[in-house]
């Protein structure tokens, strides 16, 4: 067994919970812990395929995979080879691999997560005794894609909106919102925030500030009160201005 091969729980025998057969061997210095199922291996002398139940990595053509020294590869080194593969793939190959792994439940999106997803893939490759490319196709075929998670949106705090809207209403219609009006204002503002965040492409204008939105909402909710309050404010300013001119 490779000296860098993880043992025990570090082997991540079934990291995505796919139910793939796990190694049944006992790890020791002279025994490979992976005991893959039967695969078809091409006999180079006859070009015929024969059943093979021993350890080792077999490619899609039925040929044993060899390492850099030409030796039959018994397993992927889960400590070093995921990182090596990550940096050796071109961007399209790497993204294709990661897209499949993500669709099966792996977490990707940063180099550390991406390399861990490749480690999970190679774990299954060791379990199945197949190269990582064949294993990727098997994973893509054997398990339905994970359902897309519902999108999550960040909206303003209801408590903060309540305070701002209350002040906006008082300065626009001369009173605070009723509870029903406040609830409608908060729900409408947060719905607008979700709508802005859900736009996938193009140019979208952000929501107005809560104070501006609150004042506009107050005018729409109580237009008569808004006009009256504006008029009273105008008259108050006029009277004060006139009074200041009295000698």
Other CB atoms closer than 10 Å to residue 82's CB: what's the count?
Answer: 21
pLDDT at residue number 80: 92
Strand partners, 72: 66
pLDDT at residue number 231: 56
pLDDT at residue number 84: 93
Nearest to 20 by CA among 29, 28, 32, 11: 11
pLDDT tens-digit series, residues 76-129: 999 999 999 999 988 888 888 998 888 888 888 888 889 999 999 999 899 889
**Backbone torsion region of residue 129, taken as left when φ is above 0, otherwise alpha when ψ lies between -120 and 50, otherwise beta:** left
pLDDT at residue number 196: 79
To the nearest whole percent, how much of the chain has pLDDT over 70? 72
Other CB atoms closer than 10 Å to residue 236's CB: what's the count?
Answer: 10
Mean pLDDT of all residues in the chain? 76
pLDDT at residue number 19: 54
Strand partners, 130: 58
Tell me what the mean pLDDT of segment 5-20 comes to: 48
This prediction's pTM? 0.51
Confidence of residue 10 (pLDDT cuts 50, 70, 90): very low
**What are 104's two structure tokens?**
């099966």
What beta strand segments (E) does 89-222 contain?
A: none
């Amino acid at each position: 067994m490779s000296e860098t091969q993880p043992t025990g729980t570090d082997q991540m025998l079934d990291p995505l919970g796919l139910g793939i057969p796990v190694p049944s061997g006992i790890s020791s210095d002279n025994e490979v812990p992976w005991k893959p199922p039967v695969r078809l291996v091409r006999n180079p002398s006859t070009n015929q395929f024969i059943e093979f139940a021993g350890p080792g990595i077999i490619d899609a053509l039925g040929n044993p995979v060899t390492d850099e020294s030409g030796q039959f590869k018994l397993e992927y080194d889960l400590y070093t080879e995921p990182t090596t593969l990550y940096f050796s793939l071109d961007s399209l190959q790497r993204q294709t691999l990661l897209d499949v792994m993500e669709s099966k439940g792996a977490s990707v999106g940063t180099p550390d997560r991406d390399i861990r997803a490749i480690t999970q893939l190679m774990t299954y490759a060791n379990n199945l005794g197949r190269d990582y490319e064949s294993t990727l196709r098997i994973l893509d075929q054997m398990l339905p894609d994970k359902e897309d998670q519902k999108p999550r949106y960040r909206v303003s705090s209801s408590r903060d909106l309540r305070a701002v809207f209350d002040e906006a209403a008082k300065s626009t219609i001369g009173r605070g919102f009723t509870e029903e009006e406040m609830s409608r204002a908060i729900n409408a503002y947060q719905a607008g925030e979700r709508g802005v965040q859900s736009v996938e492409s193009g140019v979208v204008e952000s929501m107005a500030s809560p104070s501006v939105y609150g004042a506009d909402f107050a005018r729409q909710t109580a237009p008569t009160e808004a006009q009256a309050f504006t008029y009273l404010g105008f008259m108050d300013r006029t009277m004060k201005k006139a009074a200041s001119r009295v000698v």
